[in-house]
Amino acid sequence: MVIIRRNPDGSVAGQEGEPTQSHPALATKRGMQAMADSGRGIPSLMSEIATKVNNAKDKPRKLKVLKDNDSVALRQVLKGAFDPKIKWLLPAGDVPYEVNTAPIGTEHTVLTQEAKRLYLFTEGGDRTLSSTKRETLFIQMLEGLSAEEAKFLVSVVNKKVNNEYKGFTANLVKEAFGWDDNFMKKEEKRPSFQV
């Protein structure tokens, strides 16, 4: 067994005469502080983004919130919330699940990471799943999320985001991400070349 002794700054204490070194798998206190200062330690919860949109006083501020938090996962979730062509294969209304009461940041999955699995619950997603299995997987997903994110995801699936979060509309999302009426990126007009 090897005993590793640490200095107060997190570096590995060396033997007498050896220089101290930092263990490559561990972040130092200085490194952790730098991550915290940059704001990149934990991604924003989608429920927090929705609340910021709700609390923004006017449309330009709402657009700024969406643009500042733009990500593939956010676009994917919001497309599911507002695109009428996306059909959720889940019963409408309240979902019977146990709310995860653990404090935010502990023992939770994050909707940003779970977004890649949302195809399982849409028409044309995974045709091998029975409706019972699909509903069970959805309940498990909700129970893994924080209470706020689970509530947000239920509003997405029920296509009632605007009812829960004031001013969070399809038109706002389309404008923020440069989408057309089909919720696709607008095609740029390219100059035509004549020979």
Q: Whole-angstrom Cα distance, residue 195 to residue 193?
A: 7
Residue 100: per-residue pLDDT = 86
pLDDT at 2 over 60: no
187 vs 24: which has the higher pLDDT: 187
Q: What is the pLDDT of residue 26?
A: 43
User: Taking 70 as the threshold, does the pLDDT of residue 77 lie above it?
Assistant: yes
Sequence spans of domains, the chain: 1-41, 46-177
Closest CA to 186 of 176, 93, 170: 176
Using the structure block, give the residue that is written with the tokens 């990149």.
Answer: 40
pLDDT at 34: 55
- Chain-centroid distance of CA 141 in Å reads 13
Mean pLDDT along residues 50-78: 93
Query: pLDDT (tens digit, 9 = 90+) per residue, 114-163?
Result: 999 999 999 988 888 899 999 999 999 999 999 999 999 999 999 999 99
